[in-house]
Amino acid sequence: MTNTSVNPARSTGVALFCGNVEIIAQLWLFWLAPIIGGVLGGWVYANFFETAKETQPLEPIEPALKQ
């Protein structure tokens, strides 16, 4: 992997206008890696750092009075 940029949209634009097959072949990584990282980071947070909140039971709603 060479000529790396952090923004997938920028990487795609440069690769398409450059026309270099090697650069175009690396595009999947620029799009897939941030998505996998986000999903993995969310999973790690939810399973290791998030604390469970106490829930309170809901009170039943009484039907409206008919007049």
pLDDT at 57: 84
Q: Is the pTM of this model over 0.75?
A: no
Q: What is the residue type of 54?
A: E
Q: Would you state the pLDDT for residue 47?
A: 92
Instruction: Give a yes or no: residue 55 inside a domain.
Output: no
42 found inside a domain? yes
Boundaries of domain holding 12: 8-49
In a domain, 56, yes or no: no
Residue 15 lies in a domain: yes
| Cα 34 versus chain centre, distance | 7
Q: How many domains in the chain?
A: 1
Mean pLDDT, the chain cut into blocks of 10 residues (67 residues total): 71 83 84 94 92 81 70
d(Cα 24, Cα 19) in Å, to the nearest integer?
7
pLDDT for 7 equals 83
In this prediction, residue 52 carries a pLDDT of: 77
pLDDT value, residue 62 = 77
The verdict on residue 58 lying in a domain is no
